[in-house]
Amino acid sequence: MNKLFLSVLCLLAVFAAVAPCLADTVNGVLAEERIVNLPQDQGKWYVSVVGNATDPRYNEIVGWFDINASLKKLKNQVHFCLVTSDTAIYQARYAGNVKGLPTVRMQKADGTVVYEAAGKNLPMTAAGLNGALAGAVSTAQGIRPILPWRRDMERRCPGPCPNPQPNPLPQPDPEPQPIDDNGPPNVDPEPQADLPPWGVALICLAGVLVGVSSGYGRKLYAKLNSPVK
Protein backbone atom coordinates (compact mmCIF):
# COMPACT_ATOMS: atom_id res chain seq x y z
CA MET A 1 0.00 0.00 0.00
CA ASN A 2 2.84 2.30 0.92
CA LYS A 3 4.60 1.51 -2.34
CA LEU A 4 1.47 2.33 -4.29
CA PHE A 5 1.05 5.59 -2.41
CA LEU A 6 4.71 6.45 -3.01
CA SER A 7 4.48 5.73 -6.73
CA VAL A 8 1.34 7.90 -7.04
CA LEU A 9 3.17 10.71 -5.27
CA CYS A 10 6.15 10.31 -7.61
CA LEU A 11 3.88 10.45 -10.64
CA LEU A 12 2.20 13.59 -9.33
CA ALA A 13 5.59 15.19 -8.73
CA VAL A 14 6.67 14.39 -12.28
CA PHE A 15 3.49 15.92 -13.73
CA ALA A 16 3.85 18.99 -11.53
CA ALA A 17 7.36 19.55 -12.89
CA VAL A 18 6.46 18.99 -16.55
CA ALA A 19 3.15 20.90 -16.73
CA PRO A 20 4.51 24.46 -16.28
CA CYS A 21 7.19 23.85 -18.93
CA LEU A 22 4.51 22.85 -21.41
CA ALA A 23 2.39 25.83 -20.47
CA ASP A 24 5.24 28.28 -20.99
CA THR A 25 6.41 26.91 -24.27
CA VAL A 26 5.50 28.94 -27.33
CA ASN A 27 6.69 27.83 -30.75
CA GLY A 28 9.24 25.54 -29.16
CA VAL A 29 10.96 28.17 -27.07
CA LEU A 30 10.42 28.97 -23.44
CA ALA A 31 8.40 32.15 -23.23
CA GLU A 32 9.58 35.09 -21.19
CA GLU A 33 6.95 36.06 -18.69
CA ARG A 34 8.15 39.61 -18.20
CA ILE A 35 6.69 40.83 -21.48
CA VAL A 36 2.99 40.49 -21.07
CA ASN A 37 1.45 43.83 -21.95
CA LEU A 38 3.38 45.51 -24.72
CA PRO A 39 1.54 48.67 -25.77
CA GLN A 40 -0.11 48.14 -29.15
CA ASP A 41 -0.05 51.88 -29.82
CA GLN A 42 0.96 51.90 -33.47
CA GLY A 43 -2.30 53.71 -34.27
CA LYS A 44 -1.61 56.59 -31.89
CA TRP A 45 -1.44 60.07 -33.36
CA TYR A 46 1.38 62.52 -32.75
CA VAL A 47 1.32 66.06 -31.43
CA SER A 48 4.58 67.98 -31.80
CA VAL A 49 5.14 71.33 -30.11
CA VAL A 50 8.22 72.80 -31.71
CA GLY A 51 10.00 75.98 -30.69
CA ASN A 52 12.84 77.83 -29.11
CA ALA A 53 13.28 76.80 -25.46
CA THR A 54 13.93 80.42 -24.46
CA ASP A 55 10.88 81.79 -26.29
CA PRO A 56 8.16 82.72 -23.75
CA ARG A 57 5.46 82.06 -26.34
CA TYR A 58 6.73 78.49 -26.86
CA ASN A 59 6.83 77.90 -23.12
CA GLU A 60 3.34 79.33 -22.77
CA ILE A 61 1.99 76.91 -25.36
CA VAL A 62 3.80 73.98 -23.76
CA GLY A 63 2.26 75.03 -20.45
CA TRP A 64 -1.25 74.93 -21.96
CA PHE A 65 -0.93 71.16 -22.24
CA ASP A 66 -0.58 70.96 -18.46
CA ILE A 67 -3.09 73.65 -17.47
CA ASN A 68 -6.00 73.25 -19.88
CA ALA A 69 -7.96 70.12 -18.95
CA SER A 70 -8.86 69.24 -22.55
CA LEU A 71 -5.32 69.68 -23.84
CA LYS A 72 -3.98 67.71 -20.89
CA LYS A 73 -6.36 64.89 -21.76
CA LEU A 74 -5.25 65.06 -25.38
CA LYS A 75 -1.58 64.99 -24.35
CA ASN A 76 -2.16 61.64 -22.67
CA GLN A 77 -3.89 60.18 -25.71
CA VAL A 78 -1.16 60.87 -28.26
CA HIS A 79 2.58 60.60 -28.66
CA PHE A 80 3.39 64.06 -27.33
CA CYS A 81 6.67 65.39 -28.68
CA LEU A 82 8.29 68.51 -27.27
CA VAL A 83 10.99 69.58 -29.71
CA THR A 84 13.29 72.51 -29.10
CA SER A 85 15.20 74.19 -31.89
CA ASP A 86 18.58 73.58 -30.25
CA THR A 87 18.37 69.80 -30.68
CA ALA A 88 19.68 67.55 -33.41
CA ILE A 89 16.26 65.98 -33.85
CA TYR A 90 14.87 69.43 -34.73
CA GLN A 91 17.59 70.00 -37.31
CA ALA A 92 17.08 66.57 -38.85
CA ARG A 93 13.30 66.23 -38.84
CA TYR A 94 11.67 69.64 -38.36
CA ALA A 95 13.89 72.50 -39.54
CA GLY A 96 13.16 71.80 -43.19
CA ASN A 97 9.39 71.46 -42.91
CA VAL A 98 8.09 73.92 -40.28
CA LYS A 99 6.80 77.31 -41.44
CA GLY A 100 7.90 79.14 -38.30
CA LEU A 101 8.39 78.86 -34.58
CA PRO A 102 6.67 77.98 -32.42
CA THR A 103 4.74 75.31 -34.30
CA VAL A 104 2.01 72.96 -33.17
CA ARG A 105 1.53 69.99 -35.47
CA MET A 106 -0.84 67.09 -35.18
CA GLN A 107 -0.22 63.99 -37.32
CA LYS A 108 -1.91 60.69 -37.87
CA ALA A 109 0.10 57.54 -37.17
CA ASP A 110 1.16 57.40 -40.83
CA GLY A 111 2.51 60.96 -40.74
CA THR A 112 -0.42 62.70 -42.43
CA VAL A 113 -0.64 66.21 -41.03
CA VAL A 114 -4.16 66.99 -39.79
CA TYR A 115 -3.34 70.29 -38.11
CA GLU A 116 -0.42 72.66 -38.22
CA ALA A 117 -0.08 76.26 -37.15
CA ALA A 118 3.01 78.34 -36.63
CA GLY A 119 4.00 81.72 -35.25
CA LYS A 120 1.20 84.27 -35.36
CA ASN A 121 -1.21 81.77 -36.88
CA LEU A 122 -1.31 79.88 -33.61
CA PRO A 123 -4.46 80.38 -31.56
CA MET A 124 -4.06 82.96 -28.82
CA THR A 125 -5.49 80.86 -26.02
CA ALA A 126 -5.40 77.27 -24.83
CA ALA A 127 -9.13 76.99 -25.47
CA GLY A 128 -8.59 78.26 -29.00
CA LEU A 129 -5.89 75.68 -29.66
CA ASN A 130 -8.05 72.91 -28.27
CA GLY A 131 -10.93 74.02 -30.48
CA ALA A 132 -8.68 74.09 -33.53
CA LEU A 133 -7.30 70.63 -32.78
CA ALA A 134 -10.78 69.27 -32.11
CA GLY A 135 -11.96 70.65 -35.43
CA ALA A 136 -8.99 69.13 -37.23
CA VAL A 137 -9.57 65.72 -35.66
CA SER A 138 -13.25 65.82 -36.60
CA THR A 139 -12.43 66.84 -40.16
CA ALA A 140 -9.76 64.15 -40.50
CA GLN A 141 -12.10 61.48 -39.22
CA GLY A 142 -15.05 62.76 -41.20
CA ILE A 143 -16.99 63.45 -38.03
CA ARG A 144 -19.41 66.33 -37.77
CA PRO A 145 -18.83 68.60 -34.78
CA ILE A 146 -21.20 68.03 -31.90
CA LEU A 147 -24.04 70.53 -32.08
CA PRO A 148 -24.40 72.85 -29.07
CA TRP A 149 -27.70 71.35 -27.92
CA ARG A 150 -26.13 67.89 -27.84
CA ARG A 151 -22.97 68.81 -25.96
CA ASP A 152 -24.42 68.46 -22.48
CA MET A 153 -26.05 65.21 -23.48
CA GLU A 154 -22.67 63.86 -24.56
CA ARG A 155 -21.13 64.94 -21.29
CA ARG A 156 -23.83 63.26 -19.25
CA CYS A 157 -23.02 59.87 -20.79
CA PRO A 158 -21.31 57.65 -18.21
CA GLY A 159 -18.00 56.13 -19.18
CA PRO A 160 -14.53 55.43 -17.89
CA CYS A 161 -12.50 58.61 -17.82
CA PRO A 162 -8.72 58.44 -17.47
CA ASN A 163 -7.56 60.68 -14.67
CA PRO A 164 -3.76 60.67 -14.71
CA GLN A 165 -2.15 62.06 -11.60
CA PRO A 166 1.04 64.11 -11.86
CA ASN A 167 4.14 62.36 -10.61
CA PRO A 168 5.90 64.59 -8.11
CA LEU A 169 9.28 62.93 -8.61
CA PRO A 170 11.78 65.18 -10.41
CA GLN A 171 12.59 63.92 -13.91
CA PRO A 172 15.29 65.23 -16.17
CA ASP A 173 13.23 64.39 -19.26
CA PRO A 174 9.55 65.35 -19.51
CA GLU A 175 7.05 63.03 -17.94
CA PRO A 176 6.28 60.21 -20.38
CA GLN A 177 2.75 59.64 -21.59
CA PRO A 178 0.85 56.68 -20.16
CA ILE A 179 1.28 53.37 -21.92
CA ASP A 180 -1.91 52.25 -23.64
CA ASP A 181 -3.27 50.96 -26.93
CA ASN A 182 -4.93 54.20 -27.97
CA GLY A 183 -5.57 55.02 -31.60
CA PRO A 184 -6.80 58.41 -32.82
CA PRO A 185 -7.37 60.93 -30.05
CA ASN A 186 -10.75 62.05 -28.80
CA VAL A 187 -10.49 65.80 -28.39
CA ASP A 188 -13.07 67.66 -26.36
CA PRO A 189 -14.98 70.11 -28.55
CA GLU A 190 -14.68 73.61 -27.20
CA PRO A 191 -18.02 74.72 -25.76
CA GLN A 192 -19.34 77.86 -27.38
CA ALA A 193 -21.19 80.37 -25.24
CA ASP A 194 -24.88 80.05 -26.11
CA LEU A 195 -26.74 83.36 -25.99
CA PRO A 196 -29.68 83.22 -23.53
CA PRO A 197 -33.12 84.35 -24.84
CA TRP A 198 -33.08 87.55 -22.76
CA GLY A 199 -29.74 88.39 -24.33
CA VAL A 200 -31.23 88.08 -27.80
CA ALA A 201 -34.14 90.36 -26.77
CA LEU A 202 -31.69 92.88 -25.31
CA ILE A 203 -29.67 92.95 -28.53
CA CYS A 204 -32.87 93.40 -30.61
CA LEU A 205 -33.99 96.27 -28.37
CA ALA A 206 -30.57 97.91 -28.60
CA GLY A 207 -30.70 97.58 -32.40
CA VAL A 208 -34.14 99.26 -32.55
CA LEU A 209 -32.97 102.09 -30.30
CA VAL A 210 -29.82 102.66 -32.36
CA GLY A 211 -31.85 102.63 -35.58
CA VAL A 212 -34.46 105.11 -34.29
CA SER A 213 -31.90 107.44 -32.76
CA SER A 214 -29.70 107.43 -35.87
CA GLY A 215 -32.79 108.22 -38.05
CA TYR A 216 -33.79 111.06 -35.76
CA GLY A 217 -30.20 112.30 -35.68
CA ARG A 218 -30.05 112.40 -39.46
CA LYS A 219 -33.27 114.44 -39.61
CA LEU A 220 -32.00 116.83 -36.96
CA TYR A 221 -28.67 117.23 -38.80
CA ALA A 222 -30.51 118.00 -42.07
CA LYS A 223 -32.69 120.55 -40.31
CA LEU A 224 -29.72 122.34 -38.68
CA ASN A 225 -27.42 122.24 -41.69
CA SER A 226 -29.35 123.22 -44.75
CA PRO A 227 -27.70 122.07 -47.96
CA VAL A 228 -25.46 124.51 -49.84
CA LYS A 229 -27.21 125.54 -52.98
Partner 1 sequence: MKRILFALVLLASVAGCEVNENLGASAPKKERPTVNVPAALRQSNWRGPQGQGSCVHASMISLFRWQYRLKTADHWQRTYGDGEYPEDLAAKFNQEGIRYAYVTNGDVRFLEWACRTRRGCGITVMGGAHMVALVHLDDKWAAILDNNNVEKFIWVPRETLIAEWKASYGWAVTPIYAPAAPLPQ
Q: How far is the C-alpha of 142 from the C-alpha of 48, rounded, in Å?
A: 22
Q: CB-wise, 109 or 127, nearer to partner 1? A: 109
Amino acid at site 147: L
Question: Considering the complex, what minimum distance in angstroms separates the CB of residue 64 from partner 1?
Answer: 18
Question: Considering the complex, what minimum distance in angstroms separates the CB of residue 43 from partner 1?
Answer: 10
Question: Considering the complex, what minimum distance in angstroms separates the CB of residue 41 from partner 1?
Answer: 6
Q: How far is the C-alpha of 200 from the C-alpha of 197, rounded, in Å?
A: 5
Q: Please report the DSSP string for 74-128 in residue order.
A: HHTTSEEEEEETTSHHHHHHTTTT-SSSSEEEEE-TTS-EEEEEEGGGS-SSHHH
Q: Which residues lie near partner 1 (CB under 8 A)?
A: 26-27, 29-32, 34-35, 38-42, 46, 48, 79-83, 87-89, 91-93, 97, 105, 107, 109-113, 116, 169, 172-174, 176-177, 179
Question: Considering the complex, what minimum distance in angstroms separates the CB of residue 147 from partner 1?
Answer: 28
Q: How far is the C-alpha of 153 from the C-alpha of 131, rounded, in Å?
A: 19
Q: CB-wise, 2 or 42, nearer to partner 1? A: 42
Report the candidate in 147, 170, 209, 186 with the shortest Cα–Cα distance to residue 44: 186
Question: Considering the complex, what minimum distance in angstroms separates the CB of residue 199 from partner 1?
Answer: 43
Q: CB-wise, 89 or 220, nearer to partner 1? A: 89
Q: CB-wise, 81 or 146, nearer to partner 1? A: 81
Q: CB-wise, 92 or 228, nearer to partner 1? A: 92
Strands 46-51, 79-84: pairing is parallel
